[in-house]
Structure 1
Amino acid sequence: MLSARTCLNAKSQLGVFKLTLKASSIVSASTSSATLRIVVMPSISNLQQYNNYSTSPKPAPKLTLDDVNENILKAKYAVRGRIPMRAEELKAQLKKDPASLPFKKIINANIGNPQQLDQKPLTFYREVLSLLQHPELLDEADETLLSLYKIDSIQRARKLLEEVGGSVGAYSQSQGVQGIRETVASFITKRDDGEIAYPEDIFLTAGASAAVSYILSMLCKGPSTGVLIPIPQYPLYTASLALNNSKPLPYYLREEENWSTDPEEIEEVVQDAIKKGVKPTCLVVINPGNPTGAILSVNAIESIFEIAAKYGIVVIADEVYQENIFKGSKFNSMKKVLRNLQKVHHGKFDNVQLASLHSISKGVSGECGQRGGYMELVGFSHEIRQVFLKLASISLCPVVTGQALVDLMVSPPKPGDASYEQDQQQRNHIHEALEERATKLFETFSRLEGIECRKPQGAMYLYPKLDLPFKAIQEASHKEMEPDEFYCSELLEHTGICTVPGSGFGQVPGTYHLRTTFLPPGTEWVDAWEKFHREFYDRYRD
């Protein structure tokens, strides 16, 4: 008879094990030289203990960086990199203790975010948007509605609501609303002096960044794919190439020639890539330039198409700053230049493929947070357009309010419309304010020791060259920073001005730059920068 609590020890060919059981649980047991067999009828308490044990094992480990897609870890985006992250920390510190730092606020000159930095939204945009978001207002009596909104805002809202199917909360077609694409095509045709654009070639996107993602994800097939990018460049391109595990092929812009291109160097980059087994698939052109603020001449654009035609390279024209043009400068769209080449040189440029990008984030719109833009495909086959449509379909559709803003951007109030005069006043004010701020900052840099800056022609940025003292370069090395990053870090810590080091955009080895917007209002921050710069050079003077 088993005791109330029995330990059974058994030895078999399978090993040694020990069981402790309650006598009341055992129904039968038998042993042999090879096996020990026990049939157990567990009590309720035993079953509960077993269930508790089986459902609470040692937790599986959390994700580590080893589990993350290595292409994401490789991607870098300096515009929101280490210095902007430090700026956010300082902003939080100021909120808790306003007197804890030698400045009162952070000046975010690191990113082209107009409405964060004083640029007011256009009234016409906001009137139409509010009616789209709350269409019940359109049911109000005419006299009530007209006391709140101008008649052309009301008419545009009704037209857009009809085109989107009655609500901006519903999905649209993946390529974008047909009526809005027709409006974009009309805008491009007018801009390019009658060179016809077709709605089926237009893809509405969630900003120009989404269009870049479409193009690169479609054409990048791995490390054997190369994409030519201008240096300095907008970091979106190198980051996107890292995500797609493809190779950036940098070509340097000529600073001494106001950041123009060098066609001979570009062709050398192409030929060198081919020799190394890398296929140059795309060539990126940012015009007007980011971060340089320069505008390419027609001759420079033509030379790019010469190379594209010769090697079968797709041209990506990032033209999101086409509305930010200063007096005395002229923007020529790449499509217009291509069409003129095709007329003069019959057949030579017929197979050139061009993807042109535009956005509501820049210009006088400044609607960065609304995420709207478009891409025009020029020279692509129907089959390739269908692949773009597949990519767009995976994302369902672009933001519908962003699409509506694209419509407003490319078709603003016209002379005779109720909103026209106010809209023109607001647009002129934005243009004049930006050019005035750019001039002020440029003139300040021009009189400072150790800074060389090209006069801006457009966009939202200056990209000055820094001739840093050797002691400053040594100090940067001690802090494990690039020299221009060290300068930008010190500028932030002493003045609250947040900029982006040139090392985040790429630059000729041995040179140092930074990018700053001229969006912030007023002159106090410029004066603070000038004071800091003089003190910095005195501190580290050789």
Structure 2
Amino acid sequence: MRRFVIGKAKSLLNPSYHSQNHTLLRPLSASQSRFLSSTSVLDSPSTSSASSMYPPVSLDTINPKVLQCEYAVRGEIVTLAQRLQDELKAKPGSQPFEEILYCNIGNPQSLGQQPITFFREVLALCDHPAILDKSETQGLFSADAIERAWQVLDQIPGRATGAYSHSQGIKGLRDTIAAGIEARDGFPANPNDIFLTDGASPAVHMMMQLLISSEKDGILCPIPQYPLYSASIALHGGSLVPYYLDEATGWGLEISELKKQLEDAKSKGITVRALVVINPGNPTGQVLAEDNQKAIVEFCKQEGLVLLADEVYQENVYVPEKKFHSFKKISRSMGYGEEDICLVSFQSVSKGYYGECGKRGGYMEVTGFSPEVREQIYKVASVNLCSNISGQILASLVMSPPKVGDESYESYSAEKEGILSSLARRAKTLEDAFNNLEGVTCNKAEGAMYLFPRIRLPQKAIKAAEAAKKAPDAFYCQRLLNATGIVFVPGSGFRQVPGTWHFRCTILPQENKIPAIVSRLTEFHKSFMDEFRD
């Protein structure tokens, strides 16, 4: 095509240049002149010089904030695991293990967890509403799923899940979610406070974009932390202000630590804008006590901080002595209303007992902001048009599942209880296994989907890691992967108290895989410690 354009341009510019039939050129028309003005740059020396400057994009020219952004959950160890998996597929028996056991990310269905039947029935009917009118449908789908699908479709523009929606999400679905929040907390919820998003992550990014204007704006984040927060703060040009969870007290959150880090940030000229609290914790698995939550709310009120409450694991509590309480419920029970505290609560369909990560559904409930600021949040949401409709539907289903008396209730309850009780058993088995390893201690798995054991490595291992230019826990995790096929995430990817080393392990591999994980890990760990024993 380029040769054709250049040839045409030359034939128009040079009267001695003829086509194959030697037809002489006519004078240029106005349209031909305009064509030449747009194509003449093809032969210009400046363009030729510019094209030799390849590549136009390099690590030196991209946004430095992208370089600062790291996400260990899908980092170097996982890349190696994927390469080993490809090698196993191409050449079975090429590794000292038969399969890769992914324990690195909270992705339940990729590891065999089955979706909730009622949720998928409603989604299927909404995606293909023509089958609602077929007689066979009554025998294939539960009556309450059919009824719910009709209700949802009546709320969607054009009854089409492929259509755009309101940028905050479909109003009727937000009504359903608000009712679910009110039923959970015992306090009113306003559907206009709810922004439906493609999972909780975009909601976190939206709030960071809103709150951060320069590197002098800080966000208090727990350490260890979920890398989404450090990554999003880096991308938006802010400063992460760390507060350390106390491993000795089961990853406790001390108000004295918050105050200390807040004052330290102020001394550096950083204005702290918000406090991030992850409850239940990721990667640490603790569930906050109600009194602790009240102290956190009081701290945010006194210091004028936005409370960013990551509550995506609210269904994942495994110990009877602990119970999830939303920060919305806590703050309202303390008598604080919208005029007292700015609170953003995040929820997702990716976690809990549903595990619908790939459907990308979630929401944030935004309270305590002025109408003017709310308009700006809506503007940011509008830039992305809307979140996907299937994710919106799932978010409404999660907050309004089948109730007693509904046809699907018994099967729904059995599926939910089966998943959560199995997760609790897996958590306890892995917790015990870690605590039986030399030099490893692991706090109780109270909630979420992870364990975060501490590993005390011999000095020889630490020096070997330094020689390999790796963090000691990353060195351990890479050796573990190469020997066993087990994928853990090094604790250094989540940040940790300097001089301590950890790794994160999910509890999501199916129960029949857990014995193999324990066996392989135990054998490897003994060999590793013997090899590097001081």
Give the TM-score normalised by structure 1: 0.88
Q: CA deviation at 1:280?
A: 0.3
1:476 corresponds in structure 2 to 465
Q: For 2:262 and 2:272, locate their aligned partners in 1 and report how far apart those are by CA, in whole Å.
A: 6
Aligned identity (percent) is 46
Deviations 1:426-458 (A, max 9, x none): 111101111111111111111111100001101
8 Å Cα contact 1:208/1:357 also seen in 2: yes
2:436 corresponds in structure 1 to 447
Q: Structure 2 regions of 5+ residues with no counterpart?
A: 1-12, 26-38
Q: For 1:509 and 1:275, locate their aligned partners in 2 and report how far apart those are by CA, in whole Å.
A: 22
8 Å Cα contact 1:207/1:360 also seen in 2: yes
Q: CA deviation at 1:52?
A: 12
2:485 corresponds in structure 1 to 496
2:10 corresponds in structure 1 to none
Report the 3-state secondary structure (helix = DSSP H, G, I; strand = E; otherwise coil) of the residue aligned with 2:65: helix
Select between 124-133 and 230-239 the one with higher mean Cα deviation. Answer: 124-133
Q: For 1:342 and 1:299, locate their aligned partners in 2 and report how far apart those are by CA, in whole Å.
A: 15
Which residue of 148, 154, 159 corresponds with 1:156?
A: 148
Q: Structure 1 regions of 5+ residues with no counterpart?
A: 1-39
Report the 3-state secondary structure (helix = DSSP H, G, I; strand = E; otherwise coil) of the residue aligned with 2:335: helix
Q: CA deviation at 1:530?
A: 1.2
Report the 3-state secondary structure (helix = DSSP H, G, I; strand = E; otherwise coil) of the residue aligned with 1:226: strand
Amino acid at match of 2:192: E
Which protein has the larger Cα radius of gyration, Structure 1 or Structure 2? 1
1:296 corresponds in structure 2 to 288
Report the 3-state secondary structure (helix = DSSP H, G, I; strand = E; otherwise coil) of the residue aligned with 1:528: helix
1:398 aligns with 2:391: no
> Aligned ranges for residues 185-334 of structure 1 at < 5 Å?
185-192=178-185, 194-328=186-320, 329-334=322-327
Q: For 1:57 and 1:384, locate their aligned partners in 2 and report how far apart those are by CA, in whole Å.
A: 49
1:136 corresponds in structure 2 to 130
Q: CA deviation at 1:206?
A: 0.8
2:499 corresponds in structure 1 to 510
> Aligned ranges for residues 7-156 of structure 1 at < 5 Å?
43-44=16-17, 54=43, 57=48, 59-60=51-52, 61-62=54-55, 63-141=57-135, 144-156=136-148
Q: For 2:353 and 2:298, locate their aligned partners in 1 and report how far apart those are by CA, in whole Å.
A: 33
Deviations 1:165-201 (A, max 9, x none): 2110000100011111111111111111x21111111
Amino acid at match of 1:412: P
1:26 corresponds in structure 2 to none
Q: CA deviation at 1:43?
A: 2.2
Q: For 1:471 and 1:185, locate their aligned partners in 2 and report how far apart those are by CA, in whole Å.
A: 56
Amino acid at match of 1:121: P
Which residue of 379, 395, 405 corresponds with 2:368?
A: 379
Deviations 1:29-54 (A, max 9, x none): xxxxxxxxxxx976217999x98982
Amino acid at match of 1:44: Y
C-alpha distance 341-103 of structure 1, shift in aligned 2 (>3 A): same
Q: For 1:189 and 1:286, locate their aligned partners in 2 and report how far apart those are by CA, in whole Å.
A: 21
Q: CA deviation at 1:125?
A: 1.2
Q: CA deviation at 1:412?
A: 0.7
C-alpha distance 245-148 of structure 1, shift in aligned 2 (>3 A): same
Amino acid at match of 2:453: P
User: Aligned pair count?
Assistant: 495
Amino acid at match of 1:253: L
Amino acid at match of 1:186: A
1:7 corresponds in structure 2 to none
Q: For 1:474 and 1:136, locate their aligned partners in 2 and report how far apart those are by CA, in whole Å.
A: 65
Q: CA deviation at 1:67?
A: 2.1
Report the 3-state secondary structure (helix = DSSP H, G, I; strand = E; otherwise coil) of the residue aligned with 2:334: helix
Report the 3-state secondary structure (helix = DSSP H, G, I; strand = E; otherwise coil) of the residue aligned with 1:281: strand
2:400 corresponds in structure 1 to 411
C-alpha distance 196-52 of structure 1, shift in aligned 2 (>3 A): closer
C-alpha distance 312-423 of structure 1, shift in aligned 2 (>3 A): same
8 Å Cα contact 1:342/1:350 also seen in 2: no
1:456 aligns with 2:445: yes
1:426 corresponds in structure 2 to 415
Deviations 1:332-369 (A, max 9, x none): 111111112226xxx9x942111000000001110000
1:359 corresponds in structure 2 to 348
1:339 aligns with 2:332: yes
1:168 aligns with 2:141: no
Amino acid at match of 2:128: H
Report the 3-state secondary structure (helix = DSSP H, G, I; strand = E; otherwise coil) of the residue aligned with 1:510: coil
Q: For 1:439 and 1:313, locate their aligned partners in 2 and report how far apart those are by CA, in whole Å.
A: 36
The structure whose residues are more often strand, as a share, is 1
Amino acid at match of 1:386: E
